[in-house]
Amino acid sequence: MDNKITTKLKLPQGRKPAVVVEIGNDWLKVMEGNPSAKESFVTKASFRKLVEIKEPVTAALVKIFKDLKLDTRGVIACIPRHLVTVRILEFPSTNPKDIRDMVSLQVGKQTPYSRDEIIFTYKTIGVNAAGYTRVMLVIARRNLVNARVEVLQKAGIEVGQVTMSSEGLAHWFHLAYWEETSPGKAKVYDDVKLDDQAVICVDIDSNYSDFIVLRKGKLVYTRNFLIGANHLLGDDAAWRDKFGEEIVHSMGLYQNEERDAKIVQLFLSGSAAHIPQLTEALGAKAGVPVVMTEPTYQVHLSKGVALFEKDEGRFVSPCPLIGMALDAGALELDLTSSELRIKKQMEGRRKQITVTGVLVLSIIMMLSTLFFIIFYGKSSYLAGIKKSVANIEKDALGVEQMRSSINLVKGRLDARKSSINILHEISRLTPKEIYFTNINIEEDKQTVLQGRAAAMSNVFEFVTTLENSPYFENVQTTYTTTKKEKDTEYAKFEIICMHEKDREDFETDAPKPEPGPPQPQSVKE
């Protein structure tokens, strides 16, 4: 059932506006929030479907930032929850240095990838009476994060922090629906005391849902499953049943880890309000009161600002972006790569040197020729630094060329992954009922097959055949649709095949979803 909650949103004061960008699988989200405003919070927003953008994403970002007059410095890059892996670990220490060392040792056991292929971050979520510290470890593929950062950088946008959407969702829920009271008092919602109990928030986005648990107002658990508004708004009731089963299963997993915490309420956010009879169905399965939330509840919008156009709000959730933009300074998780951090440090030092040079030059210009020697010495020192930087750049270029040569040799030694062999394997496995309109092979990465089949069953049989091939792993159907042309029906499809040992399903710790409704088509005919 629906329980109405009345709370008052308290905004952090004195902080500059923050811009958040999320490049998801099917949506491009941009939002600016001003937490220092007294009556306005969300000042600017843009939500665009990627398949409707006819230009490169970089060009689209440039246009959005220009049209909305957004600050390109220190932008927060939001990584969707289903593209990262989260683990809750427990360590027998409360010393931050010991915990950091233990996390560094454990991270290699939580992923099949090498340390060079991943980026990880963590935060402490609690300490029990026995002195054990619980830690939330977040891991992401380096190339996945770098790809999004590079898109922003090419658009002239400076990335200040990279974090996952679950943290923003927790901030949104805490500020909008978690009533703050004076110390020592219990937090109460509908006569339910929340001082040491667990509250669940399930945020429904277009293609996935984020299940988070908050305890004492803090994020302590997160899990995602690949069921979103695109599935739940369809006519197939089986998706709603599966959605309820996933929530019950997630509740059970959390209770197995935190037996002393009782789950007292379940909140639904994002596009949940547009899904009919969802609270009634979940209330019976979950066994706890279900509350339907509103993304903009207690969140003020600047005059003339609308989050969505037409009915886009039915399919996408703005809650994580609102939470990040509202209190960017409180975000603890940072998936920024070491390369980007080093680059920032170098840029900071360069600016410091530039400022120092300007100050020194100003002082010298005001002084007499007595200080000319000092000026000359500073200039010589600066020239020496520039010469050293130039020498380092030459050495770095040589190392990069050597690395490229090594990768080229490795590619030649492993001929199994060459395009011709992959093409031969595809030709060998393709039945006569299927023909292709486009084959895109990226060596060492993936192969994208687009084409037609006589029937939908032929596509599924072909997917099974590809999965049995030693050349491919994690074969996925991006979309399948039935077309009719001149009284003849055929199945149109797109299949993505990961090459051997290049799996992309690491980014999620949720099980694969069953085939659902067709996803938005991302290629032109």
Can you tell me the distance from the alpha carbon of 266 to that of 172, in angstroms, rounded to the nearest whole number?
15
pLDDT on residue 6: 30
Report residue 268's pLDDT band, with 50, 70 and 90 as the boundaries.
very high
Is the pLDDT confidence value at 113 over 90?
no
Contacts of 458 (CB under 8 A, 6+ apart): 431, 433, 434, 491
Q: Percentage of residues in the chain with pLDDT exceeding 90?
A: 36
Q: Which of 313, 336, 359 is the last residue of a domain?
A: 336
Q: Please compute the mean of the pLDDT values over residues 180-208 and round it to a whole number.
A: 64
Is the pLDDT confidence value at 470 over 90?
no
Q: What is the pLDDT of residues 225-235, one digit of tens each?
A: 999 999 998 88
368 shares its domain with 451: no
pLDDT on residue 505: 42
Report residue 392's pLDDT band, with 50, 70 and 90 as the boundaries.
confident
Q: What is the pLDDT of residues 23-45, one digit of tens each?
A: 998 899 999 988 765 654 788 99
* CATH of residue 152: 3.30.420.380
Instruction: Let me know if residue 103 belongs to a domain.
Output: yes
Is the pLDDT confidence value at 16 over 50?
yes
Residue 243 · residue 177 · CB < 8 Å: no
| Domain extent at residue 355 | 350-413
Q: Percentage of residues in the chain with pLDDT exceeding 70?
A: 85
Split into its structural domains, the chain has a count of: 3
148 shares its domain with 218: yes
* Alpha helices, DSSP H, located in 178-308: 229-232, 238-257, 278-286
Q: How far is CA 477 from CA 89, 329, 371, 437, 519, in A?
A: 34, 40, 73, 16, 10
The pTM assigned to this predicted structure is 0.62
433 shares its domain with 398: no
211 shares its domain with 188: yes
Can you tell me the distance from the alpha carbon of 492 to that of 139, in angstroms, rounded to the nearest whole number?
36
Picking from 317, 124, 285, the residue whose alpha carbon sits closest to that of residue 202 is 317
